[in-house]
Amino acid sequence: MTITVPLIQFGFGNVGRAVVERVLRTRDLFEWRYGLHLSYRALCDSRGAIIEMDGIRYGDLQRALAAKAAGESLSEFALGYLHQGLLDIVDIAASEGAIVIDVTATDETVPALLQALSLGCRLVLANKKPLTQRYETFRRLNADGRLRYEATVGAGVPVIATLTENLIASGDVIHRIEGCLSGTLGFLTTGLQAGEGFAALVRRAHELGYTEPDPRDDLGGMDVARKALILARTLGWPLELDQIAVEALFPPELGGGAAADFLTGAAALDEPYRRRVEAAAAAGKTLRYVATLSDGRARVGLEEVPLDSPVGRLQGTDNLIAFHTEVYRPTPLVLQGRGAGAQGTAAGVLADIVALARR
């Protein structure tokens, strides 16, 4: 017997399109293996939406993918319309058992997500911001086990599933978690270790699309702080975002002005970073941007780590997380892999969709 699982997706940018492509590519496999037919009932971007209660047809999804890749909004698409907000979409398309997927990058989805839960829907989030609002919002979204959010922390690396379904569920005691959770900052720190200048690395990361349009959005550390907060709350710690200690990779005087001004001014940081790299190397260590959780507290920042440690051996844009627990000691449980990019994030989202659908 095949069960049809309606999907409602908020967001149709790079990650959103990658999720749709992956759903279409695996449709036959999942029907055969799991008896699941994943069917898009609603798909929306910031302005437009397509809604078809009997399921958007395969060919129409392919045409929507092509139109969006060409820069067209769904409000301009032949089958689309200008929506009045996500609550409107939920009220039209939601039903018990539907899965709402949030692959946006805004906290404005929160009311629609809570409304979807009240109507019996399930949630899959790649969007970190709803989970890093006030702790009470996290509790409400996560109240009854109808939420999965793997892609918010490690993209396709199964960080949350390992923490919740293996470590916490086994009764293990978690003493410390440490991880490199930004492919962008991993690229920078391994480049610094190789002797490259800070400003040139930032400019190259910007040109390669590793950073946000304003690189300070990555270099400020808040993206990693949000990931650390999600991990802390998954552990049951009632922390708020302003309780995470965050070290930015640039001084306050470079925080203002345009992104182009920052890219020019970053040359002043070449020498200070060269000295930090040399000091770490003299001690048999290297620099990594690390999130650390222990004793109910969390911090993110640049740290000197041993060269022979899991974090010290990490290279390039991979993510890595190490769980130091009662069972996994003195050697921690380490997960490493592709932590950035649309395809890695989409893989984590689809795994969550299937996990919820199979319940």
Distance (Å) of CA 358 to CA 14, 24, 130, 157, 346: 27, 18, 25, 20, 18
* Locus of tokens 């770490």: 280
283's tokens = 């001690």
* Helix residue ranges per DSSP H, the chain: 14-34, 58-69, 86-93, 110-118, 135-141, 159-161, 183-193, 198-207, 216-219, 222-234, 259-265, 270-282, 310-313, 342-357
Q: Which residues are catalytic?
A: 227
Q: What contacts 347, CB < 8 A, 6 or more positions away?
A: 22, 155, 156
Give the Cα-Cα-Cα angle 132, 167, 287 (nearest 5 degrees). 65
Which residue, among 171, 184, 299, has the nearest Cα to 231 in the 3D structure?
A: 299
Half-sphere exposure of 92 (CA within 13 A, CB side): 18
